[in-house]
Amino acid sequence: MQLSRPVGREAASRKYDILSALMAFALAGDKHVQRQVLRIMALITTRYNWQRDELSMGQAEIARLWSVDERTVKREMARLRAQGWLVQKRQGARGRVSLHGLDLGRIMEDTKPVWPRIGEDFIARVAPAETALPASNVVPLRAVALPAADGSVWTQAQGRLMTADAAVYGAWFHPLAEAGTAEGTLMLAAPTRFHASYVMTHLHARLLAAVRATDPTLGNVVVVG
């Protein structure tokens, strides 16, 4: 998702929209997601330079802000980079701290499943027209029920996807079946190659955000037909 920097006359409202998306995403997740989002929001509100897209803060200072030790900071910053929310611009060296930027487009794309919880006015402000699925692409189906809760990552992610958009869930996500995990990737099986291709091309960001909100240790989702 392309997102220009929040600068100019409408900068303040756009910053609030980004923070609102993060808050809603956290509230829809478990305690691990909530803690991770709270930590990056603390960095954004205390040290992030919106105009220059720069976050320059040493590990000791971050540890003090987060009330953790520096080992925890190192692990969490690595997770945020792997997730694509933080982008390292300069590696830290002796006498010089690391410099990071934010991939705001990636953040907004990952939080998209919870936008309806904020409201239609929010979606109208932040969602480009091309991100909306054409009505003809959503196959009308009878109402579907969630599979019985079994504690699996996929079952919990399905709940998030259905809450965010029941029509899209019924048409595209409900037919997917869990096929296992490998090296931090959740594998899902689709009924046809076309179905798998469509989900990977048009709905992968929503799918990945829901899975990450359920299990932050999973870094990717692959759908095969």
Residues 177 and 138 in one domain: yes
Residues 100 and 140 in one domain: no
Residues 137 and 182 in one domain: yes
Residues 150 and 70 in one domain: no
Scanning the structure block, which residue is given the tokens 């995403």?
A: 25
- HSE of 36 in the Cβ direction (CA atoms, 13 Å)? 27
Per-residue pLDDT, 129: 47
Residues 72 and 155 in one domain: no
Residues 98 and 139 in one domain: no
Per-residue pLDDT, 73: 95
Number of domains observed in the structure of the chain = 2
Question: What residue type is 157 in one-letter code?
Answer: A
- Residue 117 included in any domain: no
For every residue of the chain, DSSP letters joined together read -----S-STTHHHHHHHHHHHHHHHHHTS-HHHHHHHHHHHHHHHHH-BTTTTBEE--HHHHHHHHTS-HHHHHHHHHHHHHHTSEEEEE--BTTB--EEEE-HHHHHHHHGGGHHHH-HHHHHHH--GGGSPPGGGS-------PPPP-S-HHHHHHHHHHHH-HHHIIIIITT-EEEEEETTEEEEE-SSHHHHHHIIIIIHHHHHHHHHHH-TT--EEEEE-
- Residue 123 included in any domain: no
Residues 67 and 141 in one domain: no
- Residue 20 included in any domain: yes
Give me the CATH number covering residue 196: 3.30.300.180
Residues 168 and 212 in one domain: yes
Domain with 66, as residue range(s), is: 11-106
Per-residue pLDDT, 8: 55
Residues 101 and 142 in one domain: no
Q: Tens digits of per-residue pLDDT, 50-65?
A: 989 999 999 999 999 9
- Residue 122 included in any domain: no
Residues 147 and 102 in one domain: no
Per-residue pLDDT, 24: 92
Per-residue pLDDT, 1: 52
Name the token pair of 50. 């919106």
- Residue 49 included in any domain: yes
Per-residue pLDDT, 123: 85
- Residue 54 included in any domain: yes
- Residue 111 included in any domain: no
Task: Point out the domain boundary residue: 106, 121, 146.
Answer: 106
- The answer for residues whose C-beta is within 8 angstroms of residue 156's C-beta and 6 or more apart is 149, 214
Residues 177 and 216 in one domain: yes
- Whole-number Å distance between alpha carbons of 165 and 58: 40
Edge-first strand listing for the sheet containing 99-102: 55-56, 99-102, 86-90
Per-residue pLDDT, 135: 44
- Residue 5 included in any domain: no
Residues 206 and 147 in one domain: yes
Per-residue pLDDT, 84: 86
Task: Point out the domain boundary residue: 59, 90, 106.
Answer: 106
Name the token pair of 202. 């048009």
Give me the CATH number covering residue 76: 1.10.10.10
* Residues in the chain with pLDDT values less than 70: 1-10, 128-149
